Amino acid sequence: MASDYHRGDMDITEQAATFHAVMGLTKWGSLAVAVAILVPTLWFCTDAGFFGGAISGAVLTVAGILLLREKKAGGH
């Protein structure tokens, strides 16, 4: 029975897909939570008001999308 196991022979495509899905949801979900906290905090708790919160939320969204998107394969 011990000889039935061969290291590295298992198909892991489903596990890899699940891992990438969880990492993607964590990454984009964290950005959404950060924006969802930033906008009402600036809106209601500071003198920035609605427009200050909305502009800051838009800036954070754009910066987050640019920084969190998938990098192109290649290079190194």
In a domain, 32, yes or no: yes
**Domain-located, residue 8:** no
- Express each pLDDT in 11-42 by its tens digit: 889 999 999 999 999 999 999 999 999 999 99
Residue range of the domain that includes 55: 21-68
Asked, for residue 58, whether it belongs to a domain, the answer is: yes
Q: Which of 26, 36, 33, 37 is nearest to 68 (CA)?
A: 26
In a domain, 55, yes or no: yes
- Residue 74 pLDDT level (bands cut at 50, 70, 90): low
Domain count within the chain: 1
* Rounded distance between C-alpha atoms, residue 73 and residue 76, angstroms: 9
